[in-house]
């Protein structure tokens, strides 16, 4: 299996001032630790995909009140480290999770085109100023229509798809993360999303086990959404969205089961943003 979505933010703060780094921290040791954990969990290749909003080069994407606290990595240092890990022979691809923010498309394009990525994930975490997956903003769900939140989310997800900037759309029904499920029929949203993805040559959708570790307790995406993608011949990537090394490859038996039940026998590996199919085994 391949794990094409994970974060290193809990291990090494790229670009922070030296006196704020843990004493004796060697960033390459972090890379080795991630690779070793992947091997222990039967994962042959990983893509590290840090959130773009952590990087000083992306301040124009996230002007949220918390951005000064979150924007502290240096993207050049990050890319150099991941490429050094690859040169050392570690099965690590250079990736980024590019959070789509409406109206910030020029900045997104600049970052996507400006670095030698192997793999670029697209995702939506914000509806306006509402970070719907943040525990600190969970009360906002009590003031909103759940069904409308789904429709707002999928509208933004479709806009992200249509930028043509991404290689795979991560956790494509993340809007359910807090456990709020729609009351009405949203099959039209699934079909529209799948149709939009199919219109972008080579764009994949992600199957992620991360939902099992969230309040919703369900895999991303729901089966009907994945079936809509499968009917259109859309390829997949597989992911844990691990934020700690112990979660790399976690619950991949369930990822495999969903993929195979929807007719998938392969997931995509990326190198320099070129996809190669790898059997799911």
What are the pLDDT digits (tens) for 221-252? 999 999 999 999 999 999 999 999 999 999 99
Which pTM was predicted? 0.93
User: Could you report the per-residue pLDDT of 73-92, keeping only the tens digit for each?
Assistant: 889 999 999 999 999 999 99
* Distance (Å, whole) CA 108 – CA 240: 24
Overall average pLDDT of the 91-115 stretch: 95
| Pairing of β 126-127 and β 130-131 | antiparallel
Residues 176, 98: Cα–Cα separation, whole Å:
20
Say whether pLDDT at 21 is over 90. no
End-to-end, the C-alpha distance of the chain in Å comes to: 6
Q: What percent of the chain has pLDDT over 70?
A: 91
**Distance between CA atoms of 235 and 275, rounded to whole angstroms?**
10
Of the candidates 111, 87, 120, which has an alpha carbon nearest to the alpha carbon of residue 4? Answer: 120
- Biggest CA–CA distance in the chain, Å, is 54
Give me the pLDDT at residue 64, please. 55
Handedness of CA 257, 99, 161, 201 (dihedral sign): negative
Of 122-126, 134-138, 161-165, 193-197, the one with minimum mean pLDDT is 134-138
Average pLDDT of span 7-32: 70
126-127 vs 119-123, strand pairing mode: unpaired
Q: Mind listing the domains of the chain with CATH numbers?
A: 2-279 (3.20.20.140)
Cα distance between residue 52 and residue 23, in whole Å: 26
């Amino acid at each position: 299996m391949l794990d094409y979505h994970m974060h290193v933010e809990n291990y090494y703060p790229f670009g922070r001032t030296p006196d704020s780094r843990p004493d004796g921290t060697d960033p390459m040791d972090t890379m080795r630790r991630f690779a070793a954990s992947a091997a222990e969990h039967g994962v042959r290749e990983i893509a590290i995909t840090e959130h773009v909003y952590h990087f000083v080069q992306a301040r124009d994407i996230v002007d949220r009140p918390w951005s000064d606290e979150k924007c502290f990595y240096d993207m050049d240092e990050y890319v150099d480290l991941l490429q050094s890990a690859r040169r050392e022979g570690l099965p690590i691809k250079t990736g980024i999770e590019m959070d789509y923010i409406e109206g910030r498309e020029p900045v997104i394009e600049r970052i996507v085109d400006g670095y030698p990525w192997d793999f670029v994930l697209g995702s939506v975490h914000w509806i306006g100023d509402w970070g719907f997956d943040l525990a600190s903003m969970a009360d906002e769900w009590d003031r909103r229509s759940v069904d409308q939140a789904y429709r707002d989310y999928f509208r933004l997800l479709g806009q992200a798809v249509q930028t043509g900037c991404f290689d795979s759309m991560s956790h494509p029904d993340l809007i359910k993360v807090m456990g709020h499920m729609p009351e009405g029929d949203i099959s039209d949203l699934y079909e529209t999303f799948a149709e939009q993805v199919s219109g972008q040559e080579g764009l994949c959708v992600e199957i992620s086990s991360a939902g099992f570790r969230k309040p919703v307790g369900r895999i991303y995406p729901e089966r009907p959404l994945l079936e809509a993608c499968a009917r259109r011949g859309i390829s997949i990537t597989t992911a844990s969205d691990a934020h700690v090394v112990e979660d790399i490859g976690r619950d991949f038996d369930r990822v495999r089961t969903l993929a195979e039940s929807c007719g998938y026998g392969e997931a995509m590996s990326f190198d320099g943003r070129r996809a190669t199919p790898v059997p799911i085994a």
